[in-house]
Amino acid sequence: MAKIIDGKAVSAQVKENIAKEVAQLKEKHGISIGLAVVIVGNNPASRIYVNNKKKACEAVGFESFEYALPEETTQDELLALIDKLNADDKVDGILVQLPLPKHLDEKIVIDNISPDKDVDAFHPVNVGKIMIGDYSFLPCTPAGVMELIASTGVEISGKECVVVGRSNIVGKPMSMLLLHKSGTVTICHSRTKDLAAECKRADILVAAVGVPKLIKGDMIKEGAVVIDVGMNRLEDGKLCGDVDFESCEKVASYITPVPGGVGPMTIAMLMKNTLTAAKKKIAL
């Protein structure tokens, strides 16, 4: 039976460490650290995420600046706000909550955030830095996954690592982070011919594809570390991941639950990136 990787406990520890460092920076440099979050429209899920980010800012001692814009906000209006935030010395990190309303171009919006304040690590400059291993910020969810793997004490170097999913937000950067730790990485996706066989080879399996309970226990190698990034809502309203927890728990050595696994880590790593941005500014 697998040990449960408690994302709430690990994220609480990360945030506690950040709060201590923030207090020291305030005392030494007299600075306050600020995160600006921009939300456009009335997406209920986005509103929950933004509220959670605000709570996390309070917990670690950051200032939180929220910009709630109406659904009909134009591209030019949104870009003008981003320009203003790029120039604002009180703002160390900028996060535009995705998805945006369909009339807005997410790529153009992300490209206009200063790479030094891009705490989501979505800007092409930061994506390129991750590719070559010379980065300041890491995408929050993959970075959170790395923290969870580290919490198990399992060494990544030399291990067979399989990532199911190839999104720009999780799958691709996840594979690069595992590669930087000397894992042997396979990326699987909708065209993979024998997904079960690929998964069965994995010492470390990361599922991030958005298909409820896709990964079954008979697809898991005995003793594998299984990280479930999926967050799917079933017809009965319950949340589940991409991993069939019940069957996989019997085979894996470590496994993340949904909810309570990767989710809490994403916001903790956002706080970590914002702290990094502030420290970079002090060093300039």
On the question of a cis peptide bond just before residue 259, with omega within 30 degrees of 0, the verdict is yes
Query: Catalytic annotation on 83?
Result: no
Query: Catalytic annotation on 24?
Result: no
Extract the runs of DSSP E, i.e. beta strands, from the chain: 3-4, 34-40, 63-69, 93-96, 160-164, 184-188, 204-207, 225-228, 232-233, 239-240, 254-255
Please pick, among 15, 53, 181, 272, the residue that the annotation labels catalytic: 53
User: Which of 167, 165, 185, 188 lies closest to 176 in space, CA to CA?
Assistant: 185
DSSP letters of 40-72? ES--HHHHHHHHHHHHHHHHHT-EEEEEEE-TT
Query: Catalytic annotation on 120?
Result: yes
Please pick, among 92, 120, 228, 244, the residue that the annotation labels catalytic: 120
93-96 and 34-40: which strand pairing? Answer: parallel
Please pick, among 97, 181, 203, 244, the residue that the annotation labels catalytic: 97
User: In this structure, what DSSP letter does residue 2 have?
Assistant: P
Active site (catalytic) residues? 53, 97, 120
